[in-house]
Every structure is written in structure tokens, then in C-alpha cells.
Amino acid sequence: MSYDLKMRVWRGDSGGGDLGDYTVSVETGEVVLDAIHRLQATQAGDLAVRWNCKAGKCGSCSAEINGRPRLMCMTRLSDFDESETITVTPMRAFPVIRDLVTDVSFNYEKARELPGVELGPRDADNKRRMMQVDVERGQEFRKCIECFLCQDTCHVIRDHEDNKQAFAGPRFFLRYAELDMHPLDTHDRRALAQEAAGIGMCNITKCCTEVCPEGIKITDNAIIPMKERVVDRKFDPLVWLGDKIGLRNKDNDGRVEP
């Protein structure tokens, strides 16, 4: 069964642009990305849009649908009334390149600033041993498909361009938490999370968790535990006292700051 869907799609580039009105024929069971593709194939051959897998696994087709950050391939048309107009705009936290395509370099720069995993030597039989319960927290964070919707919705940078320098954003707090919880990593990354990544800027309003298409509990499972770990090191008077009077600090669990 097909019907005519009314859409408003943002067309333009950094010089300006506006929401263009389109009517596109769609089928039941389709997703917003299908409608965008049909638009591209029939009415707007040069409509710029990023996409790859069309299955919610690569995180390329991030956009804002009716004002909410979503993956276009995971937004089913059946979630909307057939008479409803669907508005699609590019992500609004990043510089626009053209139409629905934005410049997400911010995220790639932040990725470069983050020191990678650094494991000790393997066991004598050349294997590594980690228990399932010890890797499970990290595995949740590694489900991240890097769609950057959490970064897009995060008001710290969405509403304050000047914070981009000092703030890495939820996606990278996920990475800090993953590495800090890695059973074999040798780095203590708490100072970096606080100073280089600016975790103190986060006021845990949880929008990142709300938009995550993978359902990762970014705030509860990564950011807050990471904040607590920073507190262990920085805002815990006992730790401070221990440092002052020269007691050995066991808090770093044998890890060193990179």
C-alpha cells in the first residue's frame, strides 16, 4: 500500500538554505531514509545525504526528524500519521556541508586526542585472560556505532560552539569509561577525562541516553561512573589526605597516567 507523504527537507549549505516542501510516494513498512532516497531518485538527484548500511549498524544517516536527533534508517514511517508532515534537517550541532550532510570532524579530532588502549604483556601461553563479567561493561560501550547523535543533542556543544575546544562529548566519555573499566589496560585516565575531555562540563541531563539508537545507558553506565572515578581521585578528602601525608595511593590500581 502506498500513499503520498508530505515532507519538509532542509536544502542548502553554509551560505544559507531553507526547508523545501516535497510530496513523495511511500510504501507502508518503509523508513524515512527510503522516502529520502525516493526523493533523490525522482525529484532531487543532487540531494546530499550520508548513508551506508540502512540497518542501524553503521551510524551514517544521522539527522533530525521533527526536531529530534534520529537515524533516518531506523525511523519508521508507521510511527507517524499518514497525513503528518515529516520535517528532516541536518544535525544542528555541527557545521552544515550541504543539505543533510554535516561536517562531523569535531568527533574525529576528539578521537585523536584520546590515548588508545595499552595492555601489559600476554600470559605465558601467549593468550590473554579476562572474565566475561569484567568485559561486559566495556562491551556495552563498544556497541556504539558512532552515529554522533549523542554529540549532536548534547547542549554543552550544541548550544555553545565555544565549548567544543574543552569538551569531548558523550561518545568519548563512553570511550574513557570503556578504557578505565578495561580489566587489562595499564593507564589511569581519570585526570584526562577531567582535564582534557572536560567531563565536569556535563550536567548529566541525559539527552545523550535518550537519543542513543543502540540503547546504551550512556549517562548511568559511563558518564556518572566516570565522574565518580574522577571524584575518587580528585574530590575525595581521604585520597587528598593520603597524598599529602605520603601514604601510598592504592587508588590507581597499579595504573599510571599516560
Partner 1 sequence: MVIQNMNSEVAMASTDAGVTGPTRARIEEKTLREDRWWLAPLATFIVFTAFVIYATWRAFMGSDYYASPYLSPFYSPCLGDCVDGASDFGQPFRAFPLSAALIILIFPLGFRMTCYYYRKAYYRAFWLSPPACAVAEPHKSYSGETRLPLILNNLHRWFWYAAMVVAVVLTYDTVLAFRNEDHEWGHMGLGTLLMIVNVALIWLYTLSCHSCRHAVGGRLRHFSKHPVRYKLWTWVSRLNGSHAKFAWYSLFSVALVDLYVYLLATGTIDDVRFF
Partner 2 sequence: MGSAHEGTRHPMTGNEMSGSSRGGMEHHTFDVVVLGAGGAGLRAAIAAHDAGARVAIVCKSLLGKAHTVMAEGGIAASMGNVYPDDNWQVHFRDTMRGGKMLNNWRMAQLHAQEAPERVMELEDWGALFDRTDDGLISQRDFGGHKYARLAHVGDRTGLEMIRTLQQRAVALGIEVFMECTVTDILKDGDRVAGAFGYWRETGRFVTFEAPSVVLATGGIGKSFKVTSNSWEYTGDGHALALRAGASLINMEFVQFHPTGMVWPPSVKGLLVTESVRGDGGILKNSEGTRFMFDYIPEFFRAETADTIEEADRWYDDKKNNRRPPELLPRDEVARAINSEIKAGRGTPHGGIYLDIASRRSPEFIRRRLPSMYHQFKELADVDITAEPMEIGPTCHYVMGGVEVDADTELSAVTGLYAVGECSGGMHGSNRLGGNSLSDLLVFGRRAGESAAAYAVSTASAPPAIDPVDVKAAEASALAPFDVAADAQGGGENPYTIQHDLQQSMNDLVGIIRTAEELSASLGAIEEFKQRASRMVVEGHRQYNPGWHLSLDLRNMLLVSESIAKAALAREESRGGHTRDDFPGPDPVWGTKNLVVTLDADGSGVDLHEKPLPEMPAELRTFFEEPPAAGEPKAPSVEPVETPEEGKQS
CB of 173 to partner 1, least distance (A): 13
Contact between 50 and partner 2 per CB under 8 A: yes
Q: Are 208 and 170 in contact (CB under 8 A)?
A: yes
Contact between 128 and partner 2 per CB under 8 A: yes
220: partner contacted, choices partner 1, partner 2, none (Cβ within 5-8 A by kind)? partner 1
* Long-range Cβ contacts of 93-97 (<8 Å, 24+ apart): 93/151, 93/152, 93/153, 93/154, 93/157, 93/158, 94/148, 94/151, 94/152, 95/14, 96/12, 96/13, 96/14, 96/17, 97/13, 97/14, 97/48
For partner 2, the binding residues in 218-257 under the rule CB under 8 A are none
Contact between 82 and partner 2 per CB under 8 A: no
For partner 1, the binding residues in 109-148 under the rule CB under 8 A are 131, 133-134
CB of 247 to partner 1, least distance (A): 18
For partner 1, the binding residues in 182-201 under the rule CB under 8 A are 182-183, 198, 200-201
Three cell numbers, residue 109 = 579530532
Collapsing DSSP states into helix, strand and coil, what is residue 255?
coil
Gap between the Cα atoms of 68 and 65, Å rounded: 5
For partner 1, the binding residues in 7-66 under the rule CB under 8 A are 10, 12-19, 64, 66
Q: Considering CB under 8 A, how many residues would be counted as binding partner 1?
A: 67
Nearest to 56 by CA among 147, 138, 175, 139: 147
- Of 133 and 245, which CB lies nearer to partner 2 in the complex structure? 133
Contact between 235 and partner 1 per CB under 8 A: yes
